[in-house]
Amino acid sequence: MFKRFLLFFCFILLASNLYNCAKRGMPTGGEIDTIPPVFIRSNPENFSTNFNAKEIRIYFDEYIKLDNPQKQIIVSPPLDPKPEISPLGGASKYIRVRISDTLKENTTYSINFGNSIVDNNEGNPFQFFRYVFSTGDYIDSLALRGTATNSLKRVIEEDISVLLYEVDSTYTDSLIYKEPPTYIAYTKDSTHTFSVENMRAGTYQIVALKDNNNNYKYEPGSDKIGFKKEYITLPTEENIDLKIFKEILDFEVKRPKQLSKHHYIFGFEGEVDSTEIKLISDKPNDYEYRIFKDSEKDTLHYWFKPKLENDSLVFEIQKKTYRDTLVSKHRDMEADSLEIKVNPTSSLGFNKNVEIRANIPLEKIDTSKISLLDKDFLAVRFTTHHEKFKNMYSIVFEKEEQQKYKLKMLPGSITDFYGNTNDTLAYTLNTKAYSDLGNLKFTVQNIESYPVIVQLITEQDEVYREQIHHESDGNSFDFRYLEPNTYYVRVIYDTNNNGIWDTGSFLEKRQPEKVFYYPKSFTIRPNWDFTETFILK
């Protein structure tokens, strides 16, 4: 009996040890695979000449899949229809490319796979693999390299297309709007550089596009463009620098829409300054109208009086050489009531004015019914400024630190186009202590032309503050009383002296105004003073 018990105990002990050993020795699956797929061969061979196949197969040493192939894979010159490339949504040990388009004679083609080829298990990319073939006797071997970045914005956009059009007897500037290019490449995300390979000798127009529709054609309504004014002749050692920008569209006014009894809106494209809108329908002798631009949208607001009984209204739009006639049905609708918005309503910056806006055209302001008092109840002198096209009044006055201003507008202070007036409006506006803010003194050297605009930009690419200097103003820019924040400095050559950055035009071969960014940011802290020098290159 004892022997049986001893044998049973040994069995239990042995099983327990085996279980613990099994736990300690449980397989972990080994180290994570970090090796990308390996290219084995292709059929036809890579860099084949006299190519006439309709299908290409590219083999690897393991199962692969294609990651975002529509965006990553580039065929140059482009084919229409695009090749059918697989696998899509699955895994395979080879890539199959089926060609439906008729290939051009004596032409070198390249299929750049970017980072699309990854192994099936860990997603390790086989980067920048290119399959190249020629329908002629040799492979074109010339290359062109450069960078493509934004003209104005600090944050550089990714996936900029670089297109090259061969300049021959059939080339015109209109080709970029309707035909695919001869060669195409994309910028690399990390460096914003591009490289166009396997090109033939010749003369080319180079264009960079933020191609939002991914069709290799320039659509000004949605795309940004950059270009080199002069043609490029290959071979060349030149490193190309392209700056993309959004063109201003040709001026056009959309069909009007009635919003209320006396109110129409007109959407528009292009530059709207000096636009005239005239009602050419029958109207009374005392007919009046006002126009102002929407503060947020590309929209013109058209207000009129008195009430019209017409079933439809005909408007004539004029701007320089532009002329159009637009018709809209006219309905009897409710009239609008006056709504006034004041900004700011609490914290007031030393470099800001109080702005008064309204939904109806503002006609006059009665300063005798407006009071502005400081914290000691002393009257503060102020002036007003009317910007009709913005439909805005500004209240301008000198600010002091740690002040509490009481702004009060009695009924009748503001009168709109229809004689409506405001109710009592009251606001308390506070200024901070100088010690709560910071200062930045910025000197810009090697300025080539004046006037020059220096702007402080937030991390969201918004203009926080700016100064415009002519040559007599010198090259030192003093930005005082800045809110603690992170800022960037942007320098603009204001070539046409209009106080704003101007974009370019491809058809006019006009580049956008030059922009420079200081390479570092500034973190402004309370009661801190920065002094920096920017040497333009």
Residue 25 has pLDDT above 80, yes or no: no
Query: DSSP characters for 110-162?
Result: EEE-TT-EEETTT--B-TT-EEEEESSSS---EEEEEEEEESS-SSPPS--EE
pLDDT in tens, 39-50: 999 999 999 999
- pLDDT tier, 215 (very low <50, low <70, confident <90, very high otherwise): confident
Residue 449 has pLDDT above 70, yes or no: yes
Mean pLDDT of the chain: 92
For residues 155-178, average pLDDT: 92
Q: What is the pLDDT of residue 29?
A: 53
For residues 106-120, average pLDDT: 91
Angle at CA of residue 186, ends 184 and 188, nearest 5°: 155
With beta carbons less than 8 A apart as the criterion, state whether 164 and 206 touch: yes
Residue 70 has pLDDT above 90, yes or no: no
Q: What is the pLDDT of residue 200?
A: 93
With beta carbons less than 8 A apart as the criterion, state whether 300 and 266 touch: yes
pLDDT in tens, 305-351: 999 999 999 999 999 999 999 999 999 999 999 999 999 999 999 99
With beta carbons less than 8 A apart as the criterion, state whether 148 and 244 touch: yes
Domains detected in the chain: 39-134 (2.60.40.1220), 142-244 (2.60.40), 252-329 (2.60.40), 340-432 (2.60.40.1220), 435-535 (2.60.40.1120)
Q: What is the pLDDT of residue 63?
A: 95
pLDDT in tens, 341-389: 999 999 999 999 999 999 999 999 999 999 999 999 999 999 999 999 9
Going by the DSSP 8-state scheme, the letter that residue 498 receives in this structure is: S
* Per-position b or e across 443-469, b if 16+ CB within 10 A of its CB: ebeebeebbbbbbbbeeeeeebbbebb
